[in-house]
Amino acid sequence: MAKLKIVKHGDETLRKVCRPVEKITPRIITLLDDMIETMHAADGVGLAAPQVGVLRRIAVVEVEEGELYELINPRIVAYAGEQQEQEGCLSIPGRWGITKRPKHVTVRAYNRHGEEYEVSGSDLLARAFCHEIDHLDGKLFIDCMIEELSE
């Protein structure tokens, strides 16, 4: 495994729409492992492939230690409620804001074994899923920020 360089705001990679993963190869597995290591090293709760310079529809999320979600070709299939909470991003260090997101989401994705699964989350987990999936579509949390917070 390797710690990857996190792309920072201003890099055009963060504004591009990612391509779907057609086949889960050893290279995709290595990318997942490296993204997990990078996320942990940066004390993040999520990381999307474009944040490490890879334009593929892959993200990892771990809000609670030991509850790691590897999301390949993820999509939100259901959402409910609303929350307005603080959000930040590893690609925009030192900047925080209040965003408006669904309170509950259900995500459908594939795991590293090519198995499709669904996971539902609320509160921070829902925010993390939305945040990372937004990255795959070239969107940043500052695009849905309703109030900027001081550092």
Catalytic residue among 70, 132, 147, 151: 132
DSSP state of 11: -
Instruction: Clarify whether 132 is annotated catalytic.
Output: yes
Q: How far apart are CA 151 and CA 149, in angstroms?
A: 6
Token code pair at residue 144? 């849905």
Q: How far apart are CA 110 and CA 121, in angstroms?
A: 16
How many residues are given for the chain? 151
Write out the catalytic residue numbers. Answer: 132
